[in-house]
Structure 1
Amino acid sequence: MTRTGGRHQISSRTKIASIGAAVAIAAGAVVVVTATSDDQASADGVDISNFVDITTVQPNVKQVKKQGNASRGTFTVDCGVNENEHFNGDNFIAAPGVENGAEHLHDYVGNLSTNANSTNESLQAAGTTCKNGDKSTYFWPVIRIDTADEEENEVDAAAAQAQDQQAAADANARKKGRPQLVCPDIASKLDEVPDEAQADVDKALEEVDKVTEEAEQKLPAAVDANAVDAQVVNPLLEKRKAILDRMTLALGRPGRQPIDFGALSRCSVKPPGQPSPIGDGSENGDKPPVEADPGNEPDENQELPGNDGEIQQPLKAELTFRGSPVGKVTAMPKFLKILYGDAKISINGTKNARDSWTCEGFEDKVQLAKYVICPEGKKVKRIHDFPSCWDGKNTDSANHRTHIVFPDAATGKCAEGFKAVPQLRTTLTYDIPRDIQVKGQYKVDSFPNEDHNPVSDHDDFANVMSQKIMNRLVNCVNKGKTCKE
């Protein structure tokens, strides 16, 4: 079976039974087990005990009181709802280079190229679904409706698969043997930008990104240190310094010594294949792709062993960055990677799990670790609030968690040594028919061992915003504005 990554069609659930069905009684519930054509058994549906009528639950959402210097603004990015049908079973953050490493299907918005073999460089070079040009990647496990009814497959994804495979091959060919520029992040060093300097700062950050990208294109395949310094690094240093010196002057205020941004001008070159320190955001390096077991890849209907049913496209996918209740936020560094929740609670326990599930109209009252049954006419929602206290140094960590953690739940303060960055809240809204909710026939994709446990819901984010967009975001949040792009 060929790999199905990248852009694909949503298809109806197709299951061909080869030897009939058996009914098993487990934990007081009836589970229908069907043997499929490839002799893999899968349990249809979810234990009904994982569903709860939200109107029977007492409010449990606690809000941290905002202090006088809180950053009260919001910055919302419109990246669509995966209309281009970008799905795969990969996770380049948790399992880099492993195709179908997630063993369940992800919905993607933002960066168009995200797959198992994504690197900072491939993400930077790709297009995006975000209207403002944000190239960040946002992804979460899909929701399916599984009624166990056999349906005809309505679409043929072969052409899309072939197109994706060719695009991936072309990208790998272009990337092979290429050195990479590693440059200091600027946006994360910016303090609050005064209104009168905002236009100059935006222009400077845009110019810095442009000259840096142009320089990277000039890097030869073979790295000769002297030649690279003379032809690429030193000319880039002069261009970046001139731009950043202008920005330093624009940010000068009476009675205040501005930061010398010119000191952030110099970039270095990482030869191909050389691993980078985890702090610079290039920790994946040039690892070769790891082939997955073809028998465990998504089929032409986007189904995997244990993950079948009709994929539900969100009605809305709201990506909103919020401030801190106790002070101003600083910019995220480019290529910062953040996880929400835990996809492997059966192994790791629930210490990193979060209450994600709620209904329209209950967002600020009730969030649960169970699937919700909503009042008639109300939509099912998932709310994912990401960690927002950054260690100020690393863009990733060995467990993908210790470099960015949650603030104190009671006070909203970051621990000593950590600084507040904008908090991403992903809000996903689904039109799940109420009879499907009541019957327990919708579910989140999961690792097979998790059995679609709603506690295993999770979400991933990698920041690939330009420094100009990130600076705009931080200023919007810190100045208490409501911005939508």
Structure 2
Amino acid sequence: MRRRAMRPLLVESRPARLAVAAAVLAATAGLTVTFVSSGGKGTADAATTLDEFVPIQDVAPNVRTPRPSGGASTGRFTVDCGTNRGGKFSPDNPVAQPGIKNGAEHVHDFVGNLAITATSSDPDLAASGTTCRNGDRSSYFWPVVRIDRNVRSDDQVRQALTRTQPEVACPRVRDRLPAVPAGVRTSVERRLADLNKLEAVAGQRMAASRGRIDADLNNQVLGWLRSRRAALINGISASIGSRADGLVSLADCDVSYDGMHAAMPGAWHAASVAAIPVANPQVHCPTVRGRLPGVPAQAVAEVNRGLDELDRQTSAANERLVTAGSQGRDFVENAIIGPLRAKRTAVLDRIATTIGRFGARPKGLESLAGCALNQSPAGPPPTGAPSSAPASSAALPDPQGPNQELPGNTGGIVRPAKVLIEYRGNAVSKVVPMPRFLRELTGDAKPTSRGPANARATWTCSGFADRLADRYPICPPGSQVQRVQDFPGCWDGRNIDSANHRSHVAFADRTTGACPAGFTAIPQLRITISYDIPRDVQLKGQYALDSFPEENHNPLSDHNDFINVNSTRTMQRIAACLNAGRVCR
């Protein structure tokens, strides 16, 4: 299935949208940002407009740090995971859009975990290599920044929107299931069919906003859909048992404006880059989980071991693609894809044999052995397997060329000059260790299409730590462009994820530093990303964030995502450091 996002009204002028967002941020987060006119739209072919840029000196100081109390945890623990010099780029978002290939429609920098993709399981993450010097296998990722002097104008975006029908897109629960015992297969199939019906109804309701973006309608439809999907998914989990825990991560859906891509001719550089090999490919294999028949109870445990092994094989292949660098297609086929096919064939045969030992042996599993780069190979479902869900909209193209370009997100990627990852304490209490595999996100990739309630101002310049802007900063000579992204520092004490990917964690009070009632302080993650961007590029408004098409590089759409794969021992060490008030690495 597929994904995405939206906006209020038909595409207001950019200054109007930012003013509304600033008002919301001021009311909800205590920010006081001064906006200064930068002289209109700028050039018609700039990636952004000059209205979206602000000299950092013209932003009033607005960062407030609560005063620590006697019981505070005042330490700081830093992790060096590099700046993605190895080039792990991907348009997947394994936190906000698990299971959806190219779900972000924009490219992320990834540091830390080397194997992670949209479909990685927790055991896959735990077995991965990492770029972090202390062995931290956590995944930290954020949208890239690009310099582009030749992107489409705002008029093209508005015109494309008027011809676009927004669609609802959801993760495919079927593709993430463990082995389904034969005794509950019928009830699971019924709930899967109900999930498809809900998505279809939600899609019909979105027809009312054809040609425009209505954040209120989007949130109403998606909230309705999320609650009903969560109930069905919880029912599936209860039927299957503990192996299905965590499926609630698949409850949240989104609104997709993919149609805008096709309606913006010349909006990206496909013609100039299509012949260039993709810089860091990704292996995609046919799903097996969603194509098995009901599994005899005696075979469930062994089949699950086989399914987990298939996942680990794919993750290991993806990790090797990152670490091997640019070796050419022949190397990839002979050293990675060919051996992967052979390993998958053996495991699939073992799964079929195990099922056949206690029931009818499924036919056709061998057709699912072949994998490919940067596409999702499809094989016919094996005999006796359930049918697939209805076909979704066509997949977006994979990132193209050395600049990893996608529709609407073009130009050279600016590699960070520095990435500072630090865990911080709480102003009023000690912290408890984060649970392993905790998912967190900060900011909102879709403040236009979903409203700015979760958006956060992140932009500043080195030397101006007392202020954050929700516009792209223009920095003084010698100062770096920076993004400062704070994650929630409070946890509900039970869940590692939630249906909306937010409600299991919370931000501490901006004034007091206290966690909300029912939440406990955990190490609070802050990621500061610094860039050396030429000042003339800043003054001309020629650098911008990758974004969803309807966000049109909105600086307020900045966001960051994280999965904690620190070992239990390391996370305990982090918490002890913070609680003791030390500075550690």
Q: 1:472 to 1:26 in 2, by over 3 A?
A: closer
1:386 equivalent to 2:487? Answer yes
Q: Conserved in 2, the CA contact under 8 Å of 1:97 and 1:117?
A: yes
Instruction: Give the CA deviation at 1:400.
Output: 0.5
Instruction: Give the CA deviation at 1:154.
Output: 13
Q: Conserved in 1, the CA contact under 8 Å of 2:278 and 2:404?
A: no
Match in the other structure for 1:297: 398
Taking the TM superposition and a 5 Å limit, the aligned residue runs for 1:389-428 are 389-428=490-529
Q: Conserved in 1, the CA contact under 8 Å of 2:274 and 2:400?
A: no
Match in the other structure for 1:312: 414
TM-score for the superposition, normalised by structure 2: 0.55
1:324 equivalent to 2:336? Answer no
Q: 1:30 to 1:315 in 2, by over 3 A?
A: closer
| Aligned partner of 2:81 among 74, 79, 82 | 79
- CA deviations 1:91-115 (Å, max 9, x no partner) are 1121111111100000000000121
- What is the alpha-carbon distance in structure 2 between the residues aligned to residue 124 and residue 92 of structure 1? 15
- What is the alpha-carbon distance in structure 2 between the residues aligned to residue 449 and residue 336 of structure 1? 30
Unaligned segments of structure 1, at least 5 residues: 1-24, 34-43, 181-219, 225-286
- CA deviations 1:43-100 (Å, max 9, x no partner) are x410111100111222111111111121111010100000110011111121111111
Q: 1:97 to 1:292 in 2, by over 3 A?
A: farther
Taking the TM superposition and a 5 Å limit, the aligned residue runs for 1:219-298 are 293-298=394-399
Identity of aligned residues (%): 47
Q: Conserved in 1, the CA contact under 8 Å of 2:459 and 2:483?
A: yes
- What is the alpha-carbon distance in structure 1 between the residues aligned to residue 131 and residue 67 of structure 2? 35
Unaligned segments of structure 2, at least 5 residues: 1-12, 16-39, 152-268, 290-303, 311-349, 355-387
TM-score for the superposition, normalised by structure 1: 0.65
Instruction: Give the CA deviation at 1:32.
Output: 3.7
For the residue of structure 2 that corresponds to 1:144, the secondary structure is: strand
Match in the other structure for 2:252: none
Match in the other structure for 1:29: 41
- CA deviations 1:350-383 (Å, max 9, x no partner) are 11111100001001x1111110001111000000
Normalized per residue, the structure richer in strand is 1
- What is the alpha-carbon distance in structure 1 between the residues aligned to residue 407 and residue 275 of structure 2? 20
Q: Conserved in 2, the CA contact under 8 Å of 1:101 and 1:292?
A: no
Match in the other structure for 1:8: none
Q: 1:429 to 1:127 in 2, by over 3 A?
A: same
Instruction: Give the CA deviation at 1:329.
Output: 0.2
Normalized per residue, the structure richer in helix is 2
- What is the alpha-carbon distance in structure 2 between the residues aligned to residue 294 and residue 106 of structure 1? 18
| Amino acid of the structure 1 residue aligned with 2:74 | R
- What is the alpha-carbon distance in structure 2 between the residues aligned to residue 159 and residue 369 of structure 1? 32
Q: Conserved in 2, the CA contact under 8 Å of 1:319 and 1:425?
A: yes
- What is the alpha-carbon distance in structure 2 between the residues aligned to residue 370 and residue 291 of structure 1? 35
Match in the other structure for 1:177: 307
Instruction: Give the CA deviation at 1:177.
Output: 2.1
- What is the alpha-carbon distance in structure 1 between the residues aligned to residue 305 and residue 478 of structure 2? 50
| Aligned partner of 2:116 among 114, 117, 129 | 114
Q: Conserved in 1, the CA contact under 8 Å of 2:59 and 2:469?
A: no
Taking the TM superposition and a 5 Å limit, the aligned residue runs for 1:401-480 are 401-480=502-581
Q: 1:309 to 1:318 in 2, by over 3 A?
A: same
| Amino acid of the structure 2 residue aligned with 1:340 | T
Q: Conserved in 1, the CA contact under 8 Å of 2:432 and 2:575?
A: yes
| Aligned partner of 1:372 among 462, 465, 473 | 473
For the residue of structure 2 that corresponds to 1:426, the secondary structure is: strand
- What is the alpha-carbon distance in structure 2 between the residues aligned to residue 310 and residue 154 of structure 1? 15
1:350 equivalent to 2:350? Answer no
Q: Conserved in 1, the CA contact under 8 Å of 2:59 and 2:468?
A: no
| Amino acid of the structure 2 residue aligned with 1:304 | L
Match in the other structure for 2:135: 133
Q: 1:420 to 1:152 in 2, by over 3 A?
A: same
Q: Conserved in 2, the CA contact under 8 Å of 1:99 and 1:291?
A: no
Instruction: Give the CA deviation at 1:294.
Output: 4.2
Q: 1:456 to 1:114 in 2, by over 3 A?
A: same
1:92 equivalent to 2:120? Answer no
Q: Conserved in 1, the CA contact under 8 Å of 2:430 and 2:521?
A: yes
- What is the alpha-carbon distance in structure 2 between the residues aligned to residue 155 and residue 432 of structure 1? 29
Instruction: Give the CA deviation at 1:178.
Output: 3.3
Instruction: Give the CA deviation at 1:348.
Output: 1.8
Instruction: Give the CA deviation at 1:155.
Output: 11
1:361 equivalent to 2:491? Answer no
For the residue of structure 2 that corresponds to 1:351, the secondary structure is: helix
Structure 1 vs Structure 2 CA RMSD = 3.1
Q: 1:292 to 1:113 in 2, by over 3 A?
A: farther
Taking the TM superposition and a 5 Å limit, the aligned residue runs for 1:199-210 are none
For the residue of structure 2 that corresponds to 1:116, the secondary structure is: coil
Q: 1:116 to 1:31 in 2, by over 3 A?
A: farther
For the residue of structure 2 that corresponds to 1:334, the secondary structure is: coil
Q: Conserved in 2, the CA contact under 8 Å of 1:102 and 1:447?
A: yes
| Amino acid of the structure 2 residue aligned with 1:358 | T
Q: 1:345 to 1:420 in 2, by over 3 A?
A: same
Q: Conserved in 2, the CA contact under 8 Å of 1:104 and 1:446?
A: yes
Q: 1:26 to 1:76 in 2, by over 3 A?
A: closer
Instruction: Give the CA deviation at 1:296.
Output: 3.6
- What is the alpha-carbon distance in structure 2 between the residues aligned to residue 30 and residue 435 of structure 1? 14
| Amino acid of the structure 1 residue aligned with 2:522 | V
- CA deviations 1:302-324 (Å, max 9, x no partner) are 11111111101101111000000
When structure 1 is superposed on structure 2, of 144-153 and 372-381 the one drifting more is 144-153
Instruction: Give the CA deviation at 1:295.
Output: 4.1
